[in-house]
Amino acid sequence: MLNNTERRGFAIPIAILVIAVLTIMIAGGFSLVSAERRSVADQKSQISAFRIAEQGLEIYLVARDSLIGAGMGCSTPCKHVPGQKDSVVITVSGGFANVSLTMIRPPISNQSGLYVIRSKGTETYGAYAGTPQAVRTVAQYVLWEPAPMQVLAGWTALSGLQKNGAAGTIGGIDLCGAADTVAGVIVPINPGYSGKTGAVIGDPPIDTLPPDSVAIDWDAIINHSAITPTVVIPGGSFPTAAQFADTTFYPIIRINEADYTLPTSGQGMIIATGNLTISGSSAWKGVLLVGGDITSNGNNGIQGATVSGLNIKLGTYVPSSTANGTKQYNFNSCEVAKATSPAGALVTLRNTWVDNWVEY
């Protein structure tokens, strides 16, 4: 007969083993659930970082002027035109985007500048505890497109032009050599061109067109702010010779005066609602858009494009412009491009958006 007091028990070891197995299974289950939650959280964070990066890119394209501070890419009056590089941090819901623009090819003559915009989105809110911040980068190639301008002649005088004296040149041959030759002078049939014709060269030297054929929306420019000026006169001051010494400084100057005399030589775009007088040896590189007539006295000239008498497009009578003395009014497509560039915009290139931009 067995002695029960000598039997060794097995219930307790089995119970301990079962408890250990259950503990391991429960711990494994918790670990699996935790890993699954972390994986899902990581995916959500990546999607959130992607959303932040794309949102930053789109905000930059729409509102770059208000985001970029002075000195980034260009001097204060022309910061609208991108330079070698600029960058900005854009805060959005859930994080921030570090957006930078880098030049690949500068704008040259009539050729658009090529840039790449990189937006690095970082999620700072809602990330899973103990995990690093999610980061995602997108990029887009863009072109800097200057505002288009139809140049029909070296001097387009919508109210007619009178040339006194044979000295000088009013020409439509591109001094930059990048564009086709245009007419030297374009005027309407009435009152047309009067005076010496020997100074006029182009293809043809003198041509006639009705004012409506000149594709400049003067009403939109004057009355609907189609072109945003750098400075407005009166109210602001005409840039100084020291400012114009910076050869990259091409401001847009709007002059709301009935009669105005160009105070100094310079470059850029002048939008004059009234009459403009150019005297002495003053010279201008860029674009002149004048609502009234131009009176040019002395030995002076323009390299770029000149359009006068634009108020005729608004139904206002404008007398003929007058060129006295030695004139050098010549078409230069490079100067036109520089002058219209501040009125340009960034334009995205199709099929160049990427969401796998390499970061180092």
Mind listing the pLDDT tens digit for each residue in 57-106? 999 988 887 776 543 333 443 456 777 888 889 999 889 999 999 999 88
Q: Are 139 and 118 in contact (CB under 8 A)?
A: yes
3-state secondary structure of 295: strand
Domain membership flag for residue 357: no
Range of the domain at 252: 153-342
173-211 pLDDT, tens digit per residue, is 999 888 899 999 999 999 899 988 888 999 999 999 998
Q: How confident is the model at residue 311 (pLDDT cuts 50, 70, 90)?
A: very high
Query: Is residue 182 domain-shared with residue 324, that is, in the same domain?
Result: yes
Query: Is residue 233 domain-shared with residue 94, that is, in the same domain?
Result: no
232 closest CA partner among 260, 266, 202: 260
What is the distance between the alpha carbons of residues 340 and 307, in angstroms, rounded to a whole number? 14
Domain membership flag for residue 314: yes
Domain membership flag for residue 36: yes
Domain membership flag for residue 298: yes
Query: Is residue 119 domain-shared with residue 181, that is, in the same domain?
Result: no
Domain membership flag for residue 121: yes
Q: Are strands 95-105 and 113-123 parallel, antiparallel or unpaired?
A: antiparallel
Query: Is residue 203 domain-shared with residue 330, that is, in the same domain?
Result: yes
Peptide bond preceding 234: is omega within 30 degrees of 0, i.e. cis? Answer: yes
In sequence order, the β-bridge partners of residue 157 are 308
Domain membership flag for residue 360: no
Query: Is residue 171 domain-shared with residue 119, that is, in the same domain?
Result: no
* Tokens matching residue 338: 């520089």
Query: Is residue 158 domain-shared with residue 85, that is, in the same domain?
Result: no
The terminus-to-terminus CA distance of the chain in angstroms comes to 83
Query: Is residue 206 domain-shared with residue 331, that is, in the same domain?
Result: yes
pTM higher than 0.95 = no
Query: Is residue 318 domain-shared with residue 247, that is, in the same domain?
Result: yes
Residue corresponding to tokens 């964070």: 45
Residue corresponding to tokens 């374009």: 186
More confident residue, 110 or 150: 150
User: Maximum Cα–Cα distance for the chain, whole Å?
Assistant: 146
Residue 127 is given by DSSP the state P
Domain membership flag for residue 355: no
Domain membership flag for residue 200: yes
CB atoms closer than 10 angstroms to residue 322: 19
Query: Is residue 157 domain-shared with residue 134, that is, in the same domain?
Result: no
Residue 301 burial by Cβ neighbours in a 10 Å radius (0-12, 13-18, 19+):
buried
Number of domains in the chain: 2
Residue 9 is given by DSSP the state P
25-68 pLDDT, tens digit per residue, is 777 777 776 666 666 666 777 888 889 999 999 999 888 877 76
Whether residue 14 is predicted with pLDDT greater than 60 in this model: the reply is: yes
Q: Are 212 and 218 in contact (CB under 8 A)?
A: no
Query: Is residue 124 domain-shared with residue 256, that is, in the same domain?
Result: no
210 closest CA partner among 131, 309, 285, 143: 309
In sequence order, the β-bridge partners of residue 232 are 254
Q: How far is CA 53 from CA 123, 140, 185, 354, in A?
A: 9, 11, 51, 12
In the chain, the amino acid numbered 254 is R
Whether residue 226 is predicted with pLDDT greater than 50 in this model: the reply is: yes
Query: Is residue 162 domain-shared with residue 280, that is, in the same domain?
Result: yes
Residue 245's contacts (CB-CB under 8 Å, 6 or more residues apart) are none
3-state secondary structure of 33: helix
Q: Are 312 and 211 in contact (CB under 8 A)?
A: yes
Query: Is residue 138 domain-shared with residue 277, that is, in the same domain?
Result: no
Please give the distance of CA 120 from its chain centroid, rounded to a whole number: 22
